[in-house]
Amino acid sequence: MADVFSLSRLLAIARKEVIQLRRDPRSLLLAFAVPVLLLIIFGYAITWDIRSISMAVLDGDNSARSRELVDHFRSSGYFDITHRIDSPGEISELMNRDAIAVAIVIPPDFAKNLDSRRGAEVQAIVDGSDANTATIVLAYAQAVVLSYSTDVQLRGRTVRLPVTARSRVWYNEELASRNMIVPGLVAVIMMIIAAMLTSLTIAREWERGTMEQLASTPVSRVEIILGKMLPYVGIGLIDIMMITTLGIMMFHVPFRGNPFLLLILSFFFVVGALGLGIFISAATRSQVLATQVAMVVTYLPSLLLSGFMFSIDAMPRPLQALTYLVPARYYLVVTRGIFLKGVGIEVLRVQGLLMIVFAAIGLGLAVFRFRKEIA
């Protein structure tokens, strides 16, 4: 029977885990190199910014007016006119080869209709095989045409428009997707890495036969769990500082909040993820199986159901309800709020409380499932 909780025994377990980590280069690689690698790969690979849209132009009018419209597309910064074509049949061929994303067809009577104030029509043919990209491309094309129409109207009437809109974007002034992606990656990467690191701990003890030694000692279950978790808490916080620093320096993401608040809330998130990993490790008792389960339980929900990749509001109702069980959903609000908005605990108090609850659940599951007895 174990004695009362002992700090010295806990530290001894932690020291033992540190020694095992130093002797296992694979775990050290997973702990420090993989988060940086994931940040670089995801940071550059995942983007919702659409630039340099390849465009074909079929100018049936070939007038000064039609050339002005084409110049508006070129100067918008979004479209690259890569092909000038002579017949509509070429559009299908170019889109089948993925050579263009959109084609603009200007009719022969474009300038005549425009000058007669009857209104002129322009056709935009968009490749809809990628629905999201097609929607954005179509919106850009409509904005360019609207801008050109406004210029024509102002030049013809030499009066100001009765209503003009002046927009201002807060928190992400450039509307750069990297400013949303990098803070979100902190949540996704740490959920994956933390759970995977500790998912190997208990399983490794069983596979190496060292659990028998622990079972014969007076160390309690709580001391074993906390002792094994302690080194990984330090590793997790170091990883968060590394990812945050790299995100600011490499991707130029603004950091407007309090770094100490981010570390405090990250501490509870990391403890919960580590506890979940130990729970998986204790339940499976196999390093291979524990790694696979940890990936399924952490990677997919964090990536797909946290609001990182897809808006939760756009999901079906059952999936929206399921997202409330994904801790990365709440930590994502924390990272984006601190990075981009600079908000404090008065705004993030609900998320902070949920991080504490997650830490308690993770620890509780780990202690509940772990058994010292030899089956």
Domain extent listing, the chain: 7-47+176-369, 53-157
Nearest to 187 by CA among 263, 255, 256, 269: 269
Q: What CA–CA distances, in Å, run from 114 to 18, 71, 108, 124, 327?
A: 76, 17, 12, 18, 57
Task: Quote the pTM value.
Answer: 0.80
Nearest to 351 by CA among 262, 255, 232, 239: 262
Q: What is the pLDDT of residue 261?
A: 95
Q: What CA–CA distances, in Å, run from 210 to 6, 9, 203?
A: 21, 17, 10
Q: What is the pLDDT of residue 26?
A: 78
Q: What is the pLDDT of residue 1?
A: 43
Which regions in the chain score pLDDT beneath 50?
Answer: 1-2, 158
Q: What is the pLDDT of residue 57?
A: 95
For residue 251, what are its two tokens?
A: 């991707």
Nearest to 191 by CA among 291, 261, 294: 294
Q: What is the pLDDT of residue 124?
A: 92
Q: How many CA atoms lie within 13 Å of 101's alpha carbon, on the beta-carbon side?
A: 20
The distance from CA 227 to its chain's CA centroid, rounded to whole angstroms, is: 32
C-beta neighbour count of 56 within 10 angstroms = 21
User: What is the distance between the alpha carbons of residues 91 and 130, in angstroms, rounded to a whole number?
Assistant: 17
- CATH 1.10.3720.10 is the classification of domain 53-157: no
The torsion angles phi and psi of 58, rounded to 5 degrees, stand at: -110, 95
